[in-house]
A and B are shown apart, each in its own frame.
Chain A
Amino acid sequence: MSAVEGMETAHVDAHEHHHVSQNFWQKYIFCEDHKIIAKQYLITGIIWAVIGISMSVIFRIQLGLPDSNLSWLKPILGGWISETGKLDPNFYLALVTMHGTIMVFFVLTAGLSGTFSNFLIPLQIGARDMASGFMNMLSYWFFFLASIIMFGSLFLQTGPAAGGWVIYPPLSALPQAHPGSGAGMTLWLASMALFIVSQLLGGINYITTVINLRTRGMSFDRLPLTIWSFLITAVLGLISFPVLLSSVLLLIMDRHFGTSFYLSDIYINGEALPNVGGSPILFQHLFWFLGHPEVYIVLLPGLGITSEVIATNSRKPIFGYRAMIASMLGIAFLAFIVWAHHMFVTGMNPFLGSVFMFLTLIIAVPSAVKGFNYITTLWKGNIVFTPGMLFSIGLVSLFVSGGLTGIILGNSALDIQLHDTYFVVAHFHLVMGAASAFGLFAGVYHWFPKMFGRMMNPTLGQIHFWFTFIGIYLIFIPMHYVGIAGFPRRYYQFTSYDFTHKFMDMNMFISVAAIFSFLAQFIFLWNFFYSIFKGGRAPQNPWRSNTLEWTTPIVPGHGNWEGELPAVYRWSYDYSKPGAKEDFIPQNIPYSQTLESNFPHENELIATEKAIEAQNFNDQFNSH
């Protein structure tokens, strides 16, 4: 016993020494602590989200209120607003492009995975930090550099990239094609290359940490579903981001060295370009091989966070723990073999189209399993409507209603009519954009006490939820109709076509709803930043949750746990167990202390507890 104590004091000493040696730069800027890096990602993501959503409001005003005078935006947009107060059409395209790029990559990939994988993986598996703190720090700073470059491109005189976030060549490959295809596109490509490096550094770290640094007793079948989702997300990123790098590299060569990977037989003002023998469809194949998994890279962390938050706040074990893991694995696998459903109208062989259609529709099966499990977890639970819980339930709603239109779009025959209309826009905004954003909100509301040691205001959180939830549906349900009516996406205005006239009021309605939802986000922003400094002090375990992060000090220091790492004896979903004193039993409580609530097979596990305690710590700071 005394030996153990001696070890612990030595350990604590080592810690204090560690703290002393950190100056401001090491502690807050080039920090290798996963919790600080997570906050860096979160704050950067929030800033990007404000920029990205503001852009969407500007082009929604243009679409819904085409006669409005935008002169009041001159202080920000300057020359992009004409003398008569009209938005520059080229800049409109740039806005659409940048909105997509920013929201998909910078907010919902970096901001979501970057924040919660970093924050929760070590805390929930019982590790002191990520496998490589240095790589983790590097990952954030590559992301920061990518952010700076992308942000800088907004201020170019020729405008940022404007070929759509999918940057299809030849539009993106030829500077003559569009003002934004010049320097704007160059910066876009440079920024994305750095972004990919950042994601790979981060993802490799997440996978390594989850597999190798789990604490004693944290077997794979005891991992919280959040960790499972982060692990699968990171694997998706590891496999698909190099492919995007590949397509970006070839595009850079076409743009700057004159190769013809994607270019062939192009005439500009009657003059033929020298490029012969390229294939623009090749780019689409490469791009969507990343692009489709990217949808799940964005969504899966949200689904994982939701699993955790719904189980905790329903005070019930998650329904179908193994089915949840299996469905995530199924979704991840299918994500790689459905990319061509984005390309049904590229002249692909109809038979090939039907194969991809079939594979695409199979995704409905694991997705339905997840939807079913969320609802059955909620069923007859003692639901606590915290803001995090509301956003999680909202995610399930958006996931289901957005997923249903996915079944329609997955049909190669229906896609001929619906391709590149607002129906597609509405579909992916519900299922991928809004659902993932709700996952992000749920995560922030739920883990804010752990991040900052303070509570967010729950009433403001609930108001924020209802405004956002209603706003989102008011935007995107009518948008489906506009899409079926045949409105193509990325058009500057619809005033000159006969068929669009009778939908003008609907478009205006969508725009007003978008502005309303945008304004509602300021409730969140105020709540978030105010609570960081002035929120009420967080208790040890505010949501009475089972996972390991709530066993750390309220504001964990570097290394997360004082003394030795906790051991894990059970899964993380022992809520409302019959016979138990409390309605939750944290993962680090051995079965020998809960005799009143054990099932017979769990009583047998008591004999193994000593063996678990004797196992290795996997403690990076103190390897035995």
Chain B
Amino acid sequence: MENIQQVKMDKGPRETLAMDPVKFILWLFLVSIIMLFASQTSAYLVRRAEGNWLEFEMPKIFWYSTGVLIASSLVMQYAYFAAKKDQFNQLKIAISITFALGLAFLWMQFEGWKQLVDMNVYFVGNPSGSFFYVFTGLHGFHIITGLIVLITALTAAFRLNIHSKNLRRIQICTTYWHFLDILWLYLFVFLLTFN
């Protein structure tokens, strides 16, 4: 045994690299979402550079919805810490709050659309408006998928399937939710900068 240790020390073969496959799949899935939005935003820039571009002020409500989404992300992180410490009540409450904030975010995005319509910025019309709807719509769609993931985590939490020895599900849920948060921040800043 010492011998083996010795070999490992000086030039031993490293263990074959292996991570948790499920989490790895999640990260690759995130890569594909990143590419989807990267292509959308670069299409936006290419189109914008060609001129004939309607400029409009982003409704204030999108600032508030951004705040709500950041808050939901923080609560999600709290849920993760609670799961780590086996504090089941806090875990359930935190996930529920995250879910509620996610729903609130979606509702605010929808209100934002209504305000855009009031400002005469339509989905059908100048591409600058269309792109705005497409970005928020596609992100909203991903938020819905995130909410579905949250529901599975929530039911697991109520069945006491999430605890300090079984964190994979809540980790995946947290990663995805944070990702959606960061994705929205990117889109938000992008749309503010290149309006």
Contact = CB atoms under 8 A, between A and B. Distances in A.
Interface in A239-254: 239-243, 245-247, 249-250, 253
Contacts of B38: 243
Interface string B107-141: 00000000000000001111100110010001000
A259 B130 CA distance: 7
Interface stretch (A282-290, A399-407, A428-436): A282-290
Contact of A608 (B13, B35, B53): B13
Given A219-B16, A608-B12, A243 B22 contact: no
Interface string A343-368: 00000000000000000000000000
B25 A615 contact: no
A247 B134 contact: no
Q: Which 5 A-B pairs have the closest CB atoms?
A: A242-B35, A131-B21, A243-B39, A242-B36, A246-B39
B33 A208 contact: no
Interface stretch (B3-11, B156-164, B182-190): B3-11
Main secondary structure of the interface of B (DSSP, over half): helix
Contact of B40 (A207, A246, A607): A246
B165 interface: no
B39 A286 contact: yes
Interface stretch (A158-166, A210-218, A526-534, A555-563): A210-218
Interface residues of A, number: 53
B12 A611 contact: yes
Interface in A257-290: 257-261, 276-279, 282, 285-286, 289
Interface of B: 3-4, 7-8, 11-22, 24-25, 28-29, 31-33, 35-36, 38-40, 43, 46-47, 50, 52-53, 123-127, 130-131, 134, 138
Contact of B24 (A208, A214, A607): A208
A611 B7 contact: yes
A282 B39 CA distance: 11
Given A246-B43, A279-B50, A212 B21 contact: yes
A51 interface: no
Name the residue in B7, B15, B29, B39 with the highest tally of chain A Cβ atoms < 10 Å from its Cβ.
Answer: B39
A83 B92 CA distance: 73
B50 A204 contact: no
A211 B20 CA distance: 10
21 contacts: A131-B21, A132-B22, A205-B25, A208-B21, A209-B21, A212-B17, A214-B16, A238-B31, A242-B32, A242-B36, A243-B36, A246-B36, A250-B134, A257-B123, A257-B124, A260-B125, A260-B126, A261-B47, A279-B50, A285-B43, A286-B43
Contact of A261 (B13, B15, B130): B130
A607 B7 contact: yes
A508 interface: no
Contacts of A249: 134, 138
Given A213-B21, A242-B33, A243-B35, A285 B46 contact: yes
B19 A260 contact: no
Given A204-B29, A239-B31, A259-B127, A618 B18 contact: yes
Interface of A is mostly: helix
A261 B43 CA distance: 9
Contacts, number: 135
A615 B17 CA distance: 11
A612 to B, nearest CB: 5
Given A208-B28, A610-B3, 12 more contacts: A204-B29, A211-B17, A212-B17, A238-B35, A245-B36, A246-B40, A260-B127, A277-B126, A282-B43, A286-B43, A616-B16, A616-B18
A611 B8 contact: yes
Contacts of A203: 28
A208 B7 contact: no
B4 to A, nearest CB: 5
Interface of A: 131-132, 135, 200, 203-205, 207-209, 211-219, 238-243, 245-247, 249-250, 253, 257-261, 276-279, 282, 285-286, 289, 607-608, 610-612, 614-616, 618
Contact of A215 (B7, B16, B124): B16
Contacts of A132: 21-22, 25
B28 A207 contact: yes
A246 B40 CA distance: 6
Nearest to A234: B28
B67 to A, nearest CB: 28
Contacts of A209: 21
Nearest to A125: B16
B32 A277 contact: no
Contacts of B25: 131-132, 135, 204-205, 208
Contact of A131 (B24, B35, B138): B24
Contact of B16 (A208, A216, A257): A216
Contacts of A253: 130, 134
Nearest to A217: B13
A282 B50 CA distance: 10
B169 to A, nearest CB: 15
A247 B7 CA distance: 54
Contact of A282 (B22, B28, B32, B46): B46
B4 A614 contact: yes
A441 B57 CA distance: 58
B124 A611 contact: no
Given A204-B25, A246-B39, A282-B46, A213 B130 contact: no
B15 A615 contact: yes
A211 B22 contact: no
Contacts of A250: 43, 134
B132 to A, nearest CB: 11
Contacts of A135: 25
Contacts of B52: 276-277
B35 A239 contact: yes
Nearest to B16: A214
B85 to A, nearest CB: 26
A204 B39 contact: no
Nearest to A275: B124
A575 to B, nearest CB: 23
A257 B24 CA distance: 37
B50 A242 contact: no
A213 B17 CA distance: 8
B134 to A, nearest CB: 7
Nearest to B53: A277
A246 to B, nearest CB: 4
B8 to A, nearest CB: 6
Contacts of A246: 36, 39-40, 43
